[in-house]
């Protein structure tokens, strides 16, 4: 695997025109210095990382096994040092810098996990690190990055501004830009996870992983496919993207990386508008399928992981579980999905859990217009009790747009036991003459 500087070392051009439709069968441009990583590359990375990273647990999930119909295991990279797999690629990339490059320092741009990986690796190797992060970065990720000793600069509303500033900083100071996914050493470092999976589950059939820029999936796919081929068998690899930020399906159809328009997603850790050049070539050649999941799918997955697996996982780290729960994955044998990160802001976790409960039919907020006369609140409460709904919160007001003088609005948040029970609660109220409306999340 070459480590020569190439276009993969450069910051992605955030001003490149976005595309919503794939181009007409354009030829794939050759990536300068591109070479498919080999088992020797991954073995070298694994040796370098020994004693630095944690060999995270692999635990079977009975619930997901029942859903998929084959044994499903969770690879707990949310328990990795720095809370995500990013420490693997960052450490290996920095370990291969020359003495002269280390003296110049490193610079990166990130909204969280890559920042922590680079900061920790730089501290361990004695390399000065500057990290540019957007102003809205979750506080735990900001504090952790600073805690590892990096000089953190906050600027811009989205990661595009930090990317531009990091490129300018590298040009101005000579610092080495550490790309989060588009470099052969980063891919080799992430691919050590694939070797662990093959060692821990010798009869592995399918791996399900989230995709952002593609570094993790490219590395794991190359590692498990090479190891499986050496053993005379095959392993399927399925990539998962959030529907609101899915650059790979259109890019794979076009045959080249495309920049696509994205919408906000709770899975901000994989919200990348354009595939990396090197990961794209590997994913195009080795990944069997790329599927997408909705925001509701992701929220439900986080809730399942909290309740069934007792694991705290950030939304981007749970998309593989989301795909299994949504019926987007088919497997014929033992399957692993990687929980790729656990760095979730507690405030976001609170909102996501509420959304997940609602998406699972276990929580809803109702608005009910009532005649302004005594006994109506008691009557509605009685009906909810008969229906078996647990009232969490109540708002009773005479003030509201469109209300008649003789009307009040009752807004209730109630706990239900699933979609069927939720429908039953609404039906009981409607049969009693009320007109409840479910308030969107």
Q: What pLDDT digit, counting tens, does each position of 365-389 carry?
A: 898 988 888 888 889 989 999 999 9
Is residue 160 very low, low, confident or very high in pLDDT (cuts 50, 70, 90)? confident
Segment 383-403 shows an average pLDDT of 79
Give the global pTM.
Answer: 0.81
Count CB atoms within 10 A of the CB of residue 165: 19
- Which of helix, strand or coil describes residue 243? helix
Measured CA to CA, the distance from residue 132 to residue 130 in angstroms comes to: 7
Out of 75, 86, 141, 328, pick the active-site residue. Answer: 86
Beta strands in 195-268 (DSSP E): 206-210, 236-242
341 beta partners: 84
Q: C-alpha angle with apex 213: 50 to 46, nearest 5 degrees?
A: 10
What ranges do the domains of the chain cover? 41-85+183-355, 86-177, 362-439
Q: How far apart are CA 287 and CA 210, in angstroms?
A: 12
Residue 319 has pLDDT above 80, yes or no: yes
Q: Within 13 A of 224's CA, how many CA atoms are on the CB side?
A: 33
Choose the catalytic residue: 95, 340, 358, 360. 340
Give Cα 290 distance to the centre of its chain: 14
Instruction: Give the model's pLDDT for residue 132.
Output: 96
- pLDDT recorded at residue 32: 56
Query: In the 8-state DSSP scheme, what is residue 52?
Result: T
Residue with tokens 């020797």: 40
- Distance (Å, rounded) from C-alpha 172 to C-alpha 13? 18
Helix, strand, coil % in the chain, rounded to nearest 5: 45, 15, 35
CATH ID of 86-177, from 3.10.20.90, 3.40.50.1100, 3.40.1410.10, 3.40.190.10: 3.40.50.1100
Is 328 annotated as catalytic? no
Give the other-Cβ count within 10 Å of 33's Cβ: 16
R_g over Cα of the chain:
24
**Mean pLDDT on 190-202:** 97
Q: Is the pLDDT of residue 25 over 70?
A: no
315-to-62, 271, 356, 397 alpha-carbon distances in Å: 21, 11, 11, 36
Q: What is the pLDDT of residues 45-81, one digit of tens each?
A: 999 999 999 999 999 999 999 999 999 999 999 999 9
Q: Under CATH, what is the fold of the domain 41-85+183-355?
A: Rossmann fold (3.40.50)
Which residues, other chains included, contact 289 with Cβ-Cβ below 8 Å and sequence gap of 6+?
236, 238, 239
Tokens of 301: 């997955």
Q: DSSP state, 374? A: T
Q: Which residue has the higher pLDDT, 191 or 390?
A: 191
Could you give phi then psi for residue 290, rounded to 5 degrees?
A: -125, 125
Which homologous superfamily does the CATH classification assign to the domain defined by 362-439? ACT domain (3.30.70.260)
Equal CATH topology for 41-85+183-355 and 86-177: yes
pLDDT given at position 362: 85
Q: Which residue has the tokens 């540019």?
A: 132
Task: Tell me the H-state helices in 127-180.
Answer: 139-147, 160-173
Within 8 A by CB and 6+ apart from 41, the residues are 1, 184, 188, 191
Torsion of CA 387, 388, 392, 394, to 10 degrees: 30
Q: Which two tokens stand for residue 45?
A: 């990375």
Is 123 one of the annotated active-site residues of the chain? Answer: no
Per-residue pLDDT at 156: 86
């Amino acid at each position: 695997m070459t480590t020569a500087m190439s276009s993969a070392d450069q910051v992605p051009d955030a001003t490149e025109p976005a595309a919503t439709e794939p181009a007409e069968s354009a030829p794939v441009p050759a990536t300068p210095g591109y070479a498919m990583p080999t088992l020797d590359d991954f073995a070298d990375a694994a040796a370098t990382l020994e004693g630095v990273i944690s060999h995270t647990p692999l635990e079977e999930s009975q619930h997901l096994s029942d859903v998929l119909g084959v044994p499903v295991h969770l690879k707990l990279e949310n328990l990795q040092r720095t809370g995500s797999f990013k420490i693997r690629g960052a450490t290996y990339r920095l370990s291969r810098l020359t003495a002269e490059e280390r003296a110049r320092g490193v610079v990166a741009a990130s909204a969280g996990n890559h920042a922590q990986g680079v900061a920790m690796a730089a501290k361990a190797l004695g390399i000065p690190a500057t990290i540019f992060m957007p102003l809205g970065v979750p506080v735990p990720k900001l504090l952790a990055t600073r805690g590892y000793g990096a000089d953190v600069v906050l600027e811009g509303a989205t990661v595009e501004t930090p990317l531009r500033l990091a490129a300018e900083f590298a040009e101005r100071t000579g610092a080495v830009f550490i790309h989060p996914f588009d470099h052969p050493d980063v891919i080799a470092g992430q691919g050590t996870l694939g070797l662990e999976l093959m060692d821990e589950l010798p009869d592995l059939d399918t791996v399900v992983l989230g995709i952002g820029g593609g570094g993790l999936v490219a590395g794991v796919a190359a590692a498990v496919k090479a190891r499986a081929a050496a053993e005379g068998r095959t392993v399927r690899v399925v990539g998962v993207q959030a529907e609101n930020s899915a650059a790979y399906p259109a890019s794979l159809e076009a045959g080249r990386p495309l920049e696509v328009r994205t919408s906000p997603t709770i899975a901000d850790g994989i919200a990348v508008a354009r595939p990396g050049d090197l990961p794209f070539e590997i994913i195009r050649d080795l990944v069997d399928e790329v599927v997408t999941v909705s925001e509701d799918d992701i929220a439900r997955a986080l809730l399942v992981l909290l309740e069934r697996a007792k694991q705290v996982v950030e939304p981007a780290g749970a998309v593989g579980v989301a795909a299994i729960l949504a019926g987007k994955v088919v497997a014929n044998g033992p399957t692993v999905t990687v929980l790729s990160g656990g760095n979730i802001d507690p405030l976001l976790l609170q909102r996501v859990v509420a959304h997940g409960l609602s998406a699972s039919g276990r929580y809803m907020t109702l608005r009910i217009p009532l005649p302004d006369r005594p006994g109506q609140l008691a009557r509605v409460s009685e009906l909810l009790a008969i229906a078996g709904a647990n009232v969490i919160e109540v708002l009773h007001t005479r003030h509201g747009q469109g209300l008649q003088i003789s009307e009040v609005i009752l807004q209730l948040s109630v706990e239900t036991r699933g979609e069927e029970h939720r429908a039953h609660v609404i039906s009981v109220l409607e049969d009693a003459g009320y007109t409840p409306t479910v308030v969107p999340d």
